[in-house]
Amino acid sequence: MTFNFDSYVENSGPLNLYGIDFERACDWQLEPEELRALDYFIDVEGHTTFWARDLLNTNLRHDPKVRTFITCWAYEELFHNRALEKFRRAYDEQVSSNARAQGPARPLKEAFEALGTRFLGLWPRVQRATYLAWGAAAELTTVTGYVLLARRTRNPVLRELLQRICKDERKHFAFYYGEAKRALSTSAVVRRSTFQILSALWTPVGAGIKPRLEFEFLIRYLAEVDEGAGYEGLLEIDHMMARLPGFERFSKFESLLRDLAPRSYKENSSPSRSGVTFTPASRAHSRSISA
């Protein structure tokens, strides 16, 4: 399936919650770890406006197509956050989002990021490719996380909600991935520079806004889904990103899993990447990418 930009813009809007019975959210108990993972994603979705702002502070703001997408994307992500918060309140009214663990103070982090953005702006084509590839990796990680959480939960209300959010996230991934592929095809210098930047600086979504302990917990939690299927799903992120021009050696999750989930890594690692199959996620990813 190719990404139809005009159709996406015309149909963009709030998440469709029709038929989801939030009043029954508490009829099926969630594990404490499941709630912890859910809170992680709620905070990540709520952070999207900062990422949208950062994108519009780059040279990408001069591209009408990218500017339009960012507007629609940020709007949809806002409603993902609201929908997850609605479920969370329906499940446990005593929970406050303000009480959840937060990461490093933002002012210093924002100042560092702004400096990096200005510096990278000296090379517009590299900056474009970097932010688009970064967005693709982030959206792919988000999709995979929701797929795995939906597979793990026994709560049908949460599962349905996550599956609906995934439909939006796959469209977001398809846009970033397709645009990154085109941006990386412009020159060897762009490919080499972009890969080096992401290899050095990119971290999975939430790593910069949540405490390190929470990030490490989430990786381990997702890796354990379905006795190893979670590990394969996370590793599939590497495989998908490695299909981008110049990204053949992308292996961020392979390194993370080796360090954070050594038991899963040992049980699931193999000499060849071709043995990794995570059917639900990989098929969905493949259908969402522009040819």
Span 287-291, mean pLDDT? 40
Residue 169 burial (10 A CB sphere; 0-12, 13-18, 19+): buried
> CB–CB of 253/240 below 8 Å?
no
Q: Are 174 and 135 in contact (CB under 8 A)?
A: no
> Per-residue pLDDT tens for 179-209?
999 999 999 999 999 999 999 989 888 887 8
Residue boundaries of the structural domains of the chain:
28-93+103-288
Question: What is the C-alpha to C-alpha distance for residues 241 and 66, in angstroms, rounded to an integer?
Answer: 20
State yes or no: pLDDT of 172 exceeds 90: yes
Cα 132 to chain centroid distance, Å, stands at: 13
Q: What is the DSSP letter of 105?
A: -
SS3 assignment, position 252 = helix
Q: What is the DSSP letter of 31?
A: P
**Out of 1.10.1740, 1.10.620, 2.40.160, 1.10.3470, which CATH number does the structure's domain 28-93+103-288 have?**
1.10.620
Q: How far apart are CA 287 and CA 291, in angstroms?
A: 10
Q: How far apart are CA 191 and CA 245, in angstroms?
A: 7
Specify whether the CB–CB gap between 256 and 233 falls below 8 A: no
pLDDT at residue 205, rounded to an integer? 85
| CA 271/CA 278 separation, integer angstroms | 17
pLDDT tens sequence across 102-152: 555 555 555 556 556 665 666 689 999 999 999 999 999 999 999 999 999
The predicted structure's pLDDT at residue 121: 60
Q: Residue 87's closest CA among 147, 162, 32, 193?
A: 162
Q: What per-residue confidence (pLDDT) applies to 59?
A: 84
Q: Which of 128, 136, 228, 260 is CA-nearest to residue 184?
A: 128
Query: What tens digit of pLDDT does each residue of 205-257 get?
Result: 888 788 888 989 999 999 988 877 899 999 999 999 999 999 999 999 999 99
- Residues 82/97, Cβ–Cβ less than 8 Å: no
The pair of structure tokens assigned to 168 is 């939006």
